[in-house]
């Protein structure tokens, strides 16, 4: 078969094409190899099985449980301290650390612990604004030494049995904590008398004192638990958190609220 010039050219073109194609192909493979080798192997895609999402339950709003152990009922410095005829202050000679003069009307010196004093100022102002009339402090903080002379005076004139009915023994009075106050109206009437409960001031306090952290400590129907006759004038500062909870639960005495034994009388 005669080899023509044209045939030779055609063959050369074909060979060139193959060669060029080989070079391109080869370098591409090499490049691909270079890219693959040494680069971190990409994680194989994890196939997550499709799960029907659990609907998040709508939380039912529940009020946080009141913590009855949040403060001590034994430490005399605690605003929750429970003092009664079975629970004297410890020590009996206890004196509060932060007694201040309460800037309110008073028939006797108005001195209480700072938190109780501030709350009393706010309560008196609120009562007046509400139309209940003006109030004043009849008796507030009484130090141990004062209670000693008051109690001994009653014992001397009435005997121990009768003295215990109307005056707390030294170390057993809420007034010694600096958190208790006896309130009377301005102008003065029904001072330290049951009729205070029928005055506009007495009625307003009975209904609203809890809003200011105060508790009507000796209600008429709780004498056997508190150990004291009805004293509509005697209020005890316990803080707004506790007074609000007691109001909400409808519990009237600290003894019942904290599950303490009734304290009708001193231990024999």
Looking at beta carbons only, is 75 or 229 nearer to Zn ion? 229
Please identify, using beta-carbon distances, which residue of 218 and 245 lies nearer to Zn ion: 218
Quick one: tokens of 232?
A: 């509509």
Q: Nearest 5°: CA angle at 154, between 102 and 253?
A: 55
Cβ distance to Zn ion smaller for residue 88 or 245: 88
Q: Map tokens 């206890």 to a residue.
A: 94
* Among 174, 231, 245, 255, the one annotated catalytic: 231
Residues 6+ apart with CB under 8 A from 204: 127, 130, 132
| Cβ-proximal residue to Zn ion, closest one | 234
CA 194, 196, 197, 202 dihedral sign is negative
As measured in angstroms, the least distance from the Cβ of 196 to Zn ion is: 11
Residues sharing a CB contact under 8 Å with residue 101, sequence separation 6 or more, in sequence order: 109, 110, 111, 117
| Separation of alpha carbons 168 and 84, rounded Å | 9
Residue in 174, 172, 168 with CA at minimum distance from that of residue 234:
174
Cβ–Cβ under 8 Å, residues 206 and 199:
no
* DSSP string covering 108-122: S--EEEHHHHHHHHH
Min CB(262)–Zn ion separation in Å: 19
> How far apart, in whole angstroms, are the C-alpha atoms of residue 123 and residue 109?
18
Write out the binding residues for Zn ion, residues 157-186 only, by CB under 5 A: 182
Q: Which of 113, 169, 222, 234 binds Zn ion (CB under 5 A)?
A: 234
Task: Give least dist CB 182 to Zn ion, A.
Answer: 4
Instruction: Say if CB 203 and CB 119 are below 8 A apart.
Output: no
Nearer to Zn ion, 231 or 245 (CB): 231
Binding mask 10-49 for Zn ion (x = CB under 5 A): ----------------------------------------
For position 255 contacting Zn ion by CB under 5 A, the verdict is no
Q: Which residue, 182 or 255, is less far from Zn ion as judged by CB?
A: 182
- Contacts with 238 (C-beta within 8 Å, 6 or more apart), sequence order: 79, 80, 179, 213, 214, 215, 246, 254
Stretch that binds Zn ion, among 25-33, 110-118, 156-164, 234-242 (CB under 5 A): 234-242
Catalytic status, residue 249: no
* Residue 138 C-beta: closest distance to Zn ion, Å: 8
Judged by CB under 5 A, the number of residues near Zn ion is: 2
| Minimum CB distance to Zn ion, residue 78 (Å) | 19
Dihedral over Cα of 71, 77, 80, 84: its sign: positive
140/243 with CB nearer Zn ion: 140
Using the 8-state DSSP alphabet, how is residue 242 labeled? Answer: H
- Judged by CB under 5 A, the stretch of 76-84, 233-241, 244-252, 258-266 that binds Zn ion is 233-241
Q: How far is the CB of 75 from Zn ion (least distance, A)?
A: 21
Binding region for Zn ion (CB under 5 A) out of 17-25, 63-71, 122-130, 231-239: 231-239
Residues known to be catalytic: 231
The residue ranges that bind Zn ion (CB under 5 A) are 182, 234
């Amino acid at each position: 078969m005669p080899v023509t010039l044209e045939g030779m050219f055609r063959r050369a073109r074909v060979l060139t094409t193959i060669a060029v194609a080989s070079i391109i192909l080869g370098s591409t493979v090499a490049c691909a190899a270079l890219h693959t080798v040494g680069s971190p192997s990409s994680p194989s895609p994890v196939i997550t099985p499709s799960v029907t999402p659990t609907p998040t339950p709508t939380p039912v709003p529940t009020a946080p449980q009141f913590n009855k152990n949040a403060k001590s009922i034994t430490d005399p410095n605690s605003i929750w301290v429970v003092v009664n005829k079975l629970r004297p202050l410890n020590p009996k000679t206890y004196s509060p650390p932060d007694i201040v003069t309460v800037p309110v009307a008073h028939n006797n010196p108005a001195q209480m612990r700072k938190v109780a004093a501030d709350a009393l100022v706010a309560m008196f102002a609120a009562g007046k604004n509400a139309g209940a009339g003006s109030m004043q402090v009849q008796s507030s903080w009484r130090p141990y030494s004062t209670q000693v002379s008051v109690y001994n005076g009653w014992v001397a004139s009435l005997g121990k049995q009768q003295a215990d009915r109307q005056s707390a023994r030294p170390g057993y009075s809420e007034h010694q904590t600096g958190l208790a106050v006896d309130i009377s109206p301005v102008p003065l009437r029904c001072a330290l008398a049951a009729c205070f409960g029928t005055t506009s001031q007495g009625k307003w306090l009975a209904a609203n004192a809890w809003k200011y952290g105060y508790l009507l400590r000796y209600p008429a129907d709780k004498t056997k638990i508190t150990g004291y006759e009805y004293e509509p004038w005697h209020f005890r500062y316990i803080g707004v958190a506790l007074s609000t909870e007691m109001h909400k639960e409808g519990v009237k005495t600290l003894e019942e609220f904290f599950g303490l034994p009734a304290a009708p009388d001193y231990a024999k």
